[in-house]
Structure 1
Amino acid sequence: MDEGQVVLRARRIVLPGGETAGESGADVVVRDGAIAAIEPHGSNRTGRVVELADDEVLLPGLVDTHVHVNDPGRTEWEGFETATRAAAAGGVTTIVDMPLNSLPPTVDVDALELKRKTAAAKAHVDVGFWGGAIPGNVGDLRGLHEAGVFGFKCFLLHSGVDEFPPLDPAGLEESLTELAGLDAMMIVHAEDSHVIDTAPTPHGEDYGDFLDSRPKGAENVAIAQVVELARRIGARVHILHLSSADALPLIASARADGVRVTVETCPHYLSFTAEEIPDGATQFKCCPPIREAGNRELLWKALADGTIDCVVSDHSPCVPELKRLDIGDFGVAWGGVSSLQLGLPAIWTQARLRGHSLDDVVRWMATRPAEFAGVRGKGSIAVGNDADFCVFAPDDAFVVDVEKLQHRNPISPYHGRPLAGVVRQTWLRGEELDISAAPQGRLLTR
């Protein structure tokens, strides 16, 4: 027996070429934390053999490039220890942390180093970092880029925290020009402040009032601005958490013209509809908001045709009192959905109803996020990649109980919702993760 080798034997496995099932399953050979070979099922490879059950599928570890960990500074909201436990429990082996909601925000190299130091001993999965682009820090962007951030996030309206202010049109152009020279990517919270300032002010328990306060036009106008600047400057841009299906034709047209624009959406926009959100249910509040059922179906069509590249969580937790469940007021509650552990079953539940396969889900939640962000060695089961895996039982099911989730605060709009698919194991670099044991994650650079 080769003591240094692990062989994962699966009847069903999702490889870059699609799912392989039945007798044509595969043995994935792991050595030194990497995938050394992929052999026919039942090969004579020696080592520690781990045989998946007949109802389990071997997937690559998921890559979630939109996670607010809030550590250091607002660790009572989340933290690297709890966020990465939730990721591991959900089959996510790589996260990329957002630059805001931590204190200080990741807008210069000193703040990045503090965040890396904070994460180093706490991460159960691999962690990379986004930098931030705010007014006055253009001179810090090159240093952050050279220090290995995966790109830069900006807002075009108030971010929700005063220490991460938005870029005005001139500031956005200045930052994009700097980043184009570095071939670095700008990821954008694209809602236009002027549109929202002239919309009705949200207040009270009626979700419809809140929806009116964040109209689709706010996204559409902002995305048009970002796309046209990217076209003129030659910059790389990525549209975060798309909720407005009205913007899809513009995005498709720009991409056909060669504009370097990618787009994500999130499980909550693909799972929930505005019509079903009860009065006062502020656990559903996020910005941009969950929209109507017809809009949701157009987002699903855009995923199918490739206009939307990927699905990531936008895990944005807070302490329970900030959600204002006591009064159910959408106008004052914190906007953000906690879902890092639930993304895979949430998407699989909806995807299979629409005729999609696990191949599609892997592309949206592992391969494409790794590709657009430039996370090397992740997102697919391929020789040379890290041996990161999710063992998934797609025909199993469970009902979400927030008290059993691993993120810090027990709030989620998925509470009580039945979901299809159960993550049974998560492997990181050839080792099955035990979230009760010492963290094994590493810090990643671009």
Structure 2
Amino acid sequence: MTETYDLVIRSRRAVLPYGEKPAAVAVRNGRIAAIEEADAPLAAAAEVDLGDIALLPGLVDTHVHINEPGRTEWEGFATATRAAAAGGVTTVVDMPLNSLPPTVDVESLAVKQAAARGAVHVDVGFWGGAIPGNVADLRPLHEAGVFGFKCFISDSGVPEFPPLSPERQYEAFREIASFDGLIIVHAEDPAALSEPAAGDYASFLASRPPSAERRAVEQVIRVAEQTGVRAHIVHLAAADALEPLAKARSRGVRVTAETCPHYLTLTAEDVPGPDATAFKCCPPIRDAGNREELWNGLADGVISCVVTDHSPCTPDLKRGDFATAWGGVSSLQLGLSAVWTAARARGHGLSSVVRWMAEGPAALVGLNGDGARRKGRIALGYDADLVAFAADASHVVDAAALHHRNPVTPYAGRSLRGVVQATWLRGEIVDDTPRGALLNR
């Protein structure tokens, strides 16, 4: 008896775990049920032949600030997840700030989930927060399904999410280690930070030097080594921190790191003037030499994944200069194209981009194992989260055409390679009807 599938997608450039090859990917009940030769005869209710358009697994973005509820005018679940799908991202994990309330206890997690339910176009999971005074809430949050815990060492920018002192770090890390959880850290040493002397980019950059990141990373490594916790450095911008990370990993410390598209594609030299605050983020975008060292860190495996740190706000908060504007880059819809543009110029293929932007983030949060959801690969039994990606096409970024709630991005007017032509979530094309699920760890 001939097996019948719900959907078959054929591509001469399917990006599989072992490389690019022609393939036919068959879907049944939302999962990848077969991977055959591109011209294999397969019976299906629907079929798509992409030809030379690449077929990628849906990306997993584990660093997204959706901000709903409380600051939904900055971004919301409907707009953020629609932008994600348009950029080839089929799973996001939402940060515990800048929403109100922040996700620092089980009650606030329930509020966040209620706001998201029925509104999301891709699958969404949630981080919890580790702040002073909520150690007793960490295990209940873990048991309620958060993927891990975000903390700051320096000021977060919002008063309801204060940083952890060194003593509080040890307390939180030890508690999280007791149930083998994951702590993710915004690592900038407050003692190395200062107020910008002026409103231009050079002053802002000088106020947050690479030493602030390195010193904070070294502090995280010390506490992780003492407590045995699994720790992850978010949005690494300073290549100076790669050395201590590599040494720590070589001696068995469970510490990993990510970086972001804007650190891999933009440079301090690109910032056109003091009012170009779409480029402002913390840690800051550094010089071109630092950018190339980050690429080396990716190639060497010291950096394990690339995620956006999509951190939007309303346009009025971006007005002014680099001393006063909100720090955050909006790039959820553009991350794949931005990274692919830069990666191909350095000789990296689509398989590498998939490893950094799909497999790596999925592994970080445990979505690549034997659980109910398996993400980040075109492989048997995995969710049929798939992306048709015209890798050789180019487009100029029109900020007004983005799905983000507020059209502010440093990529405006830039020419990027790669166009997402279609995105499937568990075998269904993503359109204006929200079909995303809420994920638990």
TM class, shorter-length: over 0.9
What is the CA–CA distance in structure 2 between the aligned matches of 1:3 and 1:67, rounded to whole Å?
38
What is the CA–CA distance in structure 1 between the aligned matches of 2:202 and 2:142, rounded to whole Å?
41
Query: Are the aligned partners of 2:10 and 2:50 in contact in 1 as well (CA < 8 Å)?
Result: no
What is the one-letter code of the residue matched to 2:147?
Answer: F
The CA deviation at 1:83 is 0.2
Structure-to-structure mapping, 1:2-401, within 5 angstroms: 5-20=6-21, 25-196=22-193, 199=194, 201-202=195-196, 204-280=198-274, 281-324=276-319, 327=320, 329-375=321-367, 376-401=373-398
Query: Are the aligned partners of 1:74 and 1:103 in contact in 2 as well (CA < 8 Å)?
Result: yes
Give the 3 Å change call, closer, same or farther, for CA 8–53 of structure 1 in structure 2. Answer: closer
When normalised by structure 2's length, the TM-score is 0.97
The CA deviation at 1:52 is 3.2
Deviations 1:345-385 (A, max 9, x none): 00000000000000000000000100011124000001000
What is the CA–CA distance in structure 1 between the aligned matches of 2:39 and 2:92, rounded to whole Å?
33
When normalised by structure 1's length, the TM-score is 0.96
What is the one-letter code of the residue matched to 1:230?
Answer: A
The CA deviation at 1:54 is 2.8
* SS state at 1:11 partner: strand
* SS state at 2:43 partner: coil
What is the CA–CA distance in structure 2 between the aligned matches of 1:394 and 1:82, rounded to whole Å?
25
Query: Are the aligned partners of 1:72 and 1:102 in contact in 2 as well (CA < 8 Å)?
Result: yes
Alignment match, 2:406? 409
The CA deviation at 1:49 is 4.3
Query: Are the aligned partners of 2:4 and 2:42 in contact in 1 as well (CA < 8 Å)?
Result: no
What is the CA–CA distance in structure 2 between the aligned matches of 1:119 and 1:4, rounded to whole Å?
31
The CA deviation at 1:205 is 3.9
What is the CA–CA distance in structure 2 between the aligned matches of 1:149 and 1:203, rounded to whole Å?
40
Deviations 1:156-177 (A, max 9, x none): 0110000000000000000000
* SS state at 2:420 partner: strand
What is the CA–CA distance in structure 2 between the aligned matches of 1:152 and 1:184, rounded to whole Å?
8
Query: Are the aligned partners of 1:367 and 1:380 in contact in 2 as well (CA < 8 Å)?
Result: yes
Query: Are the aligned partners of 1:98 and 1:130 in contact in 2 as well (CA < 8 Å)?
Result: yes
Segments of 5+ residues of structure 1 without an aligned counterpart are: none
Runs of 4+ in 1 over 6 A off after TM superposition: none
What is the one-letter code of the residue matched to 2:26?
Answer: V
What is the CA–CA distance in structure 2 between the aligned matches of 1:422 and 1:83, rounded to whole Å?
18
What is the CA–CA distance in structure 1 between the aligned matches of 2:5 and 2:38, rounded to whole Å?
20
What is the CA–CA distance in structure 2 between the aligned matches of 1:205 and 1:353, rounded to whole Å?
33
What is the CA–CA distance in structure 1 between the aligned matches of 2:426 and 2:146, rounded to whole Å?
22
* SS state at 1:12 partner: strand
The CA deviation at 1:444 is 0.3
The CA deviation at 1:51 is 3.1
Query: Are the aligned partners of 2:152 and 2:164 in contact in 1 as well (CA < 8 Å)?
Result: yes
* SS state at 2:223 partner: helix
What is the CA–CA distance in structure 1 between the aligned matches of 2:434 and 2:343, rounded to whole Å?
32
Query: Are the aligned partners of 2:131 and 2:163 in contact in 1 as well (CA < 8 Å)?
Result: yes
What is the one-letter code of the residue matched to 1:89?
Answer: A
Query: Are the aligned partners of 1:55 and 1:395 in contact in 2 as well (CA < 8 Å)?
Result: no
* SS state at 1:366 partner: helix
Deviations 1:174-198 (A, max 9, x none): 00000000100000000011111xx
What is the CA–CA distance in structure 1 between the aligned matches of 2:290 and 2:235, rounded to whole Å?
14
* SS state at 1:382 partner: coil
The CA deviation at 1:48 is 3.1
Q: Which residue of 392, 401, 421 corresponds with 1:424?
A: 421
* SS state at 1:73 partner: coil
* SS state at 2:222 partner: helix
